Structure 1
Amino acid sequence: MNIKTGTSLKKAGAKHHYSGTDFWIKLKHAATAAGKELVEKSLWLYYASHRPETPTWAKAAVYSALAYFILPTDTIPDFIPGTGYTDDLAAILAAVSTISSYIDDDVKSRASEKVAHWFGKNETGKKAQQSSSP
């Protein structure tokens, strides 16, 4: 099964354990515990996967990393203080590295706005504006 040749994500199994709805639920509930970096990089992946220019193989890498983040059972349980999200961050960073050429300024800007919304303030210290869309 070669994902690069256009095999559908469904056939490739990349979306088998990934759900956009579950991603948003997990991210919103775990944002503070997971930390700003994991949240921001996860959003980079999410937004990059929705760009029409992002190829199927890159989307498969994204969905695999986000599925690992969503799964309730993983190598290091998320409830362990200080280290619970270490393995999730490693999976996310590996995917970011893999698809970095598809993470453009628009993707980073959208993620930055959402992070500012969830964490309260942007880099300049100004109160973040409310945003209702993903």
Structure 2
Amino acid sequence: MTRAGNFESCDFASDEKDVRDKFWRTARKAARHIPFMEDVVAAYYCALDKQTPLRAKGILLAALAYFVLPVDAIPDMIFGIGFTDDIAVLTAAIAAVRSNITPAHRLAAREALARLD
């Protein structure tokens, strides 16, 4: 692993590919369970933005990977509580990097969510 400031980077290319491949399928399922879905989609666009600092990208990709992976602390298919752990992880990640999520990311999120309806 390499050092980037105080943040140890990981295999971002692999994480990014996993998130890209599974994000929209999971987002469609989660949209009615996660009240701040626009923030989650904006975080997705922020994580994929080449201008996003490496530390913020790493935090977001880790949280989004947790969101899209089928195996986590509380399986997503459990009605009513399946996305609660995902919500906690996403809330913490978004709060940690909120200053990196730009108006352009938010606009792209609103447009993408409008297309999902």
Aligned to 2:59: 61
Q: CA RMSD in A?
A: 2.7
The TM-score, its normalising length taken from structure 2, stands at: 0.80
The TM-score, its normalising length taken from structure 1, stands at: 0.71
Residue by residue over 1:68-125, the C-alpha shift from the partner in whole angstroms, topping out at 9 and shown as x without a partner, is 0111111112112221111101111111111111111111111011122223xxxxxx
Which of 38, 41, 48 in structure 1 is aligned with 2:39? 41
- Asked if 1 retains the 8 angstrom alpha-carbon contact of 2:34 and 2:87, the reply is no
**Bigger helix fraction:** 2
Q: How far is 1:15 from its partner?
A: 2.0
Amino acid at match of 1:20: R
Q: Superposed, which structure 2 residues align to 1:1-134 within 5 Å? A: 1-4=2-5, 9-10=10-11, 15=15, 18-28=18-28, 30-37=29-36, 39-119=37-117
Q: Which runs of 5+ in 1 are unaligned?
A: 120-134
Q: Could you tell me how far apart the structure 1 residues matched to 2:16 and 2:113 are?
A: 27
CA 4–22 in structure 1, closer or farther in 2 if over 3 Å, else same: farther
- Asked if 2 retains the 8 angstrom alpha-carbon contact of 1:18 and 1:64, the reply is no
Between structure 1 and structure 2, the one with the greater Rg is 1
